Structure 1
Amino acid sequence: MTRFIIEDDFWSLFPHAKIGTVICRGIDNSIRDVEIYEKLLQEAEKEAHAFLSMEDFSSNPVISVWREAFQKFKTKKGARCSIEALLKRVKNGNQIGTINPLVDIYNSISLRYALPCGGEDIDTFAGDIRLTLANGSEPFIPLGSEENAPPYAGEIVYKDDEGAICRCWNWREAQRTMLTENTKNAFLCMELIDETRSDEFHMALKELSDLVSHHLGGTVKIEVLDIHHREVKIFG
């Protein structure tokens, strides 16, 4: 049995956080009607401008809340929440390109709701997945790289028995567990730290689940973890 577990050291820093998961089984991520996903992303980019009403980029609430969160744990200099990176591209007029259906779907939801989303290939996992503080010795090869860049001790990471899966909470994902067109089983997650946006968070999770099911088939299951519900079975 493989589980997703959120450790006590995370909750001590973020007791009010919610982590939404969508477990996808038996999907077909090789479907490549590119126009569908280009349209999803283009529409999401338009909607994302609603979150950028403040002239100073970092003053927008969906950005500032994560800037403050990243000050509570050890981070690599310049590391930012994934939603900040996406929204900055939108603000600068840089179109979000398609990658593969799963990534395009979760990027579109991330933009539409200004919430960080990510995903990993379940079949690459080694043991349980944990959201916790790194000890600093976890191997980590970033997406698109071949060099080991382990997290700092005290950095929030997703990790399994082989090493880190995502550094600085939701900043940079690993090459080893990335979603590809061959992915059949996927672990998608969405993170919330602004308690006032709980309704939007649940709407976004439902829409993410529905889009995956509609476009890629298979089965999908939503689970929301919080301080009272700290682990979920992924499979087995």
Structure 2
Amino acid sequence: MTQSFIVDEAFWQLFPEVEIAFLTAQDIDNHAKEQVPTDLLTTANHVAATKWVPNDPISQNTVVQDWRQAFQQFKTKKGARCAVENLLKRAKNGKGVGTINPVVDVYNSVSLEWAFPVAAEDMDQIKGDIHLTVAQGGERFRPIGEDDVETALPGEVIYRDAYDVISRCWAWRDSARVEATEATQNLLFYMENVNPQRHADHVAATAALRTRLHDYLGISTTLHVVTHDQPSVAFKD
């Protein structure tokens, strides 16, 4: 049965100019840590701190302002911030983003160096279609690293499949159920851009993600760009 990635009209009514790079990869091996350069995240943390968030406080930097303004357009859990702000904050504070597993390390390096949120999900754990949509309220969600189940708020932007929420507050926290682990064999990625003036950066970041996955981990990807004019794509037959 065909599965699709679909951005619903309720989302486009809030964010008509958003563009999303949607990538898929099959038959991967997420164990080869030795193939990822040892300085990849060190370099990425440095770039993030110096290029994207040099100003104090962190809210005074344009890439952070873009996402904070976006988050003001819908209902969010108190304190929720875009995932990329959390990465940039760690880099700015000198703590740095550390290693998790090869795939996550690669996409975190891209997120840090280009200041876009990047998510990776285990394709085989996805139930039915994926929707980027606006929650009715009450949809179930269990975040990575947590045992307790949460529920989405009415009006909250979420990613969901046919089973439950796979990302809360748009690009804040991902679901433990679809987490990319060392055992993952098939993947899908998405990277969102909320600022049309950063289109060229988004294209460059997408190219970097594909190149690093290929060169470091031997992962070939298929790319689709999802926009208001092209709001859905099939990712599995």
Residue 26 (structure 1) aligns with? 27
The question of whether the paired residues in 1 share the 8 Å contact of 2:20 and 2:191 is answered with yes
Are 1:146 and 2:152 an aligned pair? no
Q: Distance in 1 between matches of 2:102 and 2:156?
A: 30
**Stretches (4+) displaced over 3 A:** none
Residue 14 (structure 2) aligns with? 13
Q: Find the residue that maps to 2:29 and give its secondary structure.
A: coil
Are 1:115 and 2:141 an aligned pair? no
The question of whether the paired residues in 1 share the 8 Å contact of 2:121 and 2:178 is answered with yes
Residue 47 (structure 2) aligns with? 47
Specify every segment of 5 or more residues in structure 2 that has no aligned partner in the other structure, as ranges.
none
Describe how 1:1-236 pairs up with structure 2 within 5 A: 1-33=2-34, 36-48=36-48, 49-236=50-237
Q: Find the residue that maps to 2:33 and give its secondary structure.
A: coil
Q: Find the residue that maps to 2:39 and give its secondary structure.
A: helix
Q: CA RMSD in A?
A: 1.1
Q: Distance in 2 between matches of 1:2 and 1:219?
A: 20
Q: Deviations over 1:20-51 (max 9, x none)?
A: 111111111111218x3541111111111211
Q: What is the CA-CA distance between 1:211 and the residue it aligns to?
A: 1.1
The question of whether the paired residues in 2 share the 8 Å contact of 1:58 and 1:64 is answered with yes
The question of whether the paired residues in 1 share the 8 Å contact of 2:159 and 2:168 is answered with yes
Q: Distance in 2 between matches of 1:98 and 1:216?
A: 15
What letter is aligned with 1:105? V
What letter is aligned with 1:201? H
Q: Distance in 1 between matches of 2:37 and 2:132?
A: 30
Q: Find the residue that maps to 1:33 and give its secondary structure.
A: helix
Q: What is the CA-CA distance between 1:146 and the residue it aligns to?
A: 1.1
The question of whether the paired residues in 2 share the 8 Å contact of 1:26 and 1:217 is answered with no
Q: Find the residue that maps to 2:151 and give its secondary structure.
A: coil
Superposition TM-score, scaled by structure 2 size:
0.96
Q: Find the residue that maps to 1:97 and give its secondary structure.
A: coil
Q: Distance in 2 between matches of 1:67 and 1:38?
A: 32
Superposition TM-score, scaled by structure 1 size:
0.97
What letter is aligned with 1:58? S
The question of whether the paired residues in 2 share the 8 Å contact of 1:16 and 1:195 is answered with yes
Q: Deviations over 1:101-134 (max 9, x none)?
A: 1111110000000111111000000000000011
Q: What is the CA-CA distance between 1:218 and the residue it aligns to?
A: 4.0
Q: Find the residue that maps to 1:219 and give its secondary structure.
A: coil
Q: Deviations over 1:139-181 (max 9, x none)?
A: 1111011111111111001100100000000101110000000
Q: Find the residue that maps to 2:22 and give its secondary structure.
A: strand
Q: Distance in 2 between matches of 1:178 and 1:96?
A: 18
Residues 152 and 37 (structure 1 numbering): CA distance in 2 closer, same or farther, change over 3 Å? farther
Q: Deviations over 1:57-94 (max 9, x none)?
A: 10100001111100000000000001110011011100
Q: Distance in 1 between matches of 2:98 and 2:68?
A: 25
Q: Deviations over 1:176-209 (max 9, x none)?
A: 0000001111111101011111011011001101
Instruction: Tell me the matched-pair count.
Output: 235
Q: Distance in 2 between matches of 1:32 and 1:55?
A: 35
What letter is aligned with 2:43? E
